[in-house]
Amino acid sequence: MKVCATPLWRRRRGGNLDSISEFALFRSIVDAGGISAAALTLQSSPAAVSRRLAALEAKLGVRLADRSSRRFRLTDEGLLLYDRSRTILEQVRDAEAEVASRGGAARGLLKVGAPSDLGRHHLSPILATFVAQHPGLDAHLILSDAGLENEADGCDLVLRFDLPNDPVMTTRKIATTGQVVVAAPAYVARRGVPNSPEELKGHNCLRLARRHRMIDVWRFKHGGELVETQVTGTLSSADGTVLRGWALSGEGISWEALWDVADDVIAGNLVHLLPSYRSAEMELYAVFAPGKPVPPRIRLFVDHLVRVFGQLEQKLATMAL
């Protein structure tokens, strides 16, 4: 008996390009949670998406998912295809990007992960502007305060305020910002002004939570010495936007990144407290997988981030805070 070693997609009409398109469709269906939701994302009809899925199953000779009006559940074969197709599609996307890099254009899909507050306050408009400058590019922004990882969360690029634990990953420093203690004028009028970090213990401090850890030790430098104080308060959140909102409404004192509150301090919406005590600086890094060459969508966006945040740093340096 003659054994055919040719891959299945080469023994079918349409070849590998059809298979790549079908794999992308299948992953879209799974990621969306079903045919109807995928049809909305793909700007198609549920009937058309269902027909394409059925055609893929007929081509492969297996059932990829058990589906009904209430649920969409992958079979073992579906799980295998979903897992393997991710690598295939990423390789195709990177090959396209490498070829396109010779023309200096960012193309394909750029997936960016970031902490929620940074993403909402700064990154979302920066990313939208970058996509508008590159017509062949789509972007997806993932926000989480749980600590995103490039491979596990499917991100091309992750922004974070510390270096990754994995030394294999490529990192580039994007920017540095200071931290300041602020409160609304209404809070200061009601509770008074703390004159030292120690006096923060007598105030309602708005605390940030990260990964089940409360950040309640605030660190400062004064006269060349490190000063630490443990703060308390009635309100805490894992979302920096929430803390800043509470500060603006006069609920308490918040410890904020300078670039998040500089405009409000200048406008008089917030008061800069303890100005003679400097807080440790926060360094923002871009983290992405190693590769030569780096896909243009990543390389160009990182360059864009360095440029935009550099302009922000220059602006802050001229402000009298």
Residue 223 within any structural domain of the chain: yes
Give the pTM: 0.63
Looking at residue 265, its pLDDT comes to 93
Give yes or no for residue 5 having a pLDDT over 60.
Answer: no
Same-domain status, 276 and 183: yes
Residue 3 within any structural domain of the chain: no
Give yes or no for residue 90 having a pLDDT over 80.
Answer: no
Which of the listed residues 38, 66, 97 is the one where a domain comes to its end? 97
Percent of the chain's residues with pLDDT above 70: 87
Q: Which domain holds residue 13?
A: 8-97
Looking at residue 292, its pLDDT comes to 61
Residue found under tokens 């500060």: 247
Lowest-pLDDT choice from 14-18, 184-188, 229-233: 14-18
pLDDT digits (tens, 9 = 90+) for 301-314: 999 999 999 988 88
Same-domain status, 185 and 274: yes
Q: What is the mean pLDDT of residues 87-110?
A: 73
Give yes or no for residue 3 having a pLDDT over 70.
Answer: no
Same-domain status, 141 and 18: no
Same-domain status, 169 and 309: yes
Lowest-pLDDT choice from 82-91, 95-104, 191-200, 218-227: 95-104
Looking at residue 305, its pLDDT comes to 95
Give yes or no for residue 9 having a pLDDT over 60.
Answer: no
Residue 103 within any structural domain of the chain: no
Same-domain status, 259 and 203: yes
Same-domain status, 252 and 190: yes
Same-domain status, 189 and 171: no
Lowest-pLDDT choice from 77-91, 154-168, 250-264: 154-168
CATH number at residue 39: 1.10.10.10
Which of the listed residues 75, 97, 119 is the one where a domain comes to its end? 97
Which of the listed residues 65, 97, 129 is the one where a domain comes to its end? 97
- Is the separation of the CB atoms in 138 and 108 below 8 Å? yes
Query: Given pLDDT bands bounded at 50, 70 and 90, which one contains residue 17?
Result: low
pLDDT digits (tens, 9 = 90+) for 217-275: 999 988 778 899 999 999 999 888 899 999 999 999 999 999 899 989 999 999 999 99
CATH number at residue 162: 3.40.190.10
Q: What is the mean pLDDT of residues 62-66?
A: 90
Looking at residue 244, its pLDDT comes to 94
When comparing pLDDT for 188 and 321, which is higher?
188
Same-domain status, 160 and 211: no
Distance CA 235, CA 204 (A): 8
Distance CA 36, CA 194 (A): 57
Residue 169 within any structural domain of the chain: yes
Same-domain status, 190 and 262: yes
Does an H or E element contain 89, and which? helix 76-100
Residue 1 within any structural domain of the chain: no
Query: Given pLDDT bands bounded at 50, 70 and 90, which one contains residue 186?
Result: very high
Query: Given pLDDT bands bounded at 50, 70 and 90, which one contains residue 117?
Result: confident
- Is the separation of the CB atoms in 106 and 127 below 8 Å? no
Looking at residue 104, its pLDDT comes to 65
Residue 102 within any structural domain of the chain: no
Burial of 78 (0-12, 13-18, 19+ CB in 10 A): buried
Give yes or no for residue 282 having a pLDDT over 90.
Answer: no
Number of domains the chain contains? 3
Q: What is the mean pLDDT of the chain?
A: 84
Distance CA 168, CA 290 (A): 7
Same-domain status, 68 and 157: no
CATH number at residue 245: 3.40.190.290
User: For residue 281, what are the contacts with CB-CB under 8 A and spacing of at least 6?
Assistant: 176, 177, 178, 179
Same-domain status, 259 and 288: no
Same-domain status, 137 and 274: no
Q: What is the mean pLDDT of residues 1-11?
A: 37
DSSP 237: E
CA–CA–CA angle 272, 263, 250 (5° rounding) = 55
Give yes or no for residue 178 having a pLDDT over 70.
Answer: yes
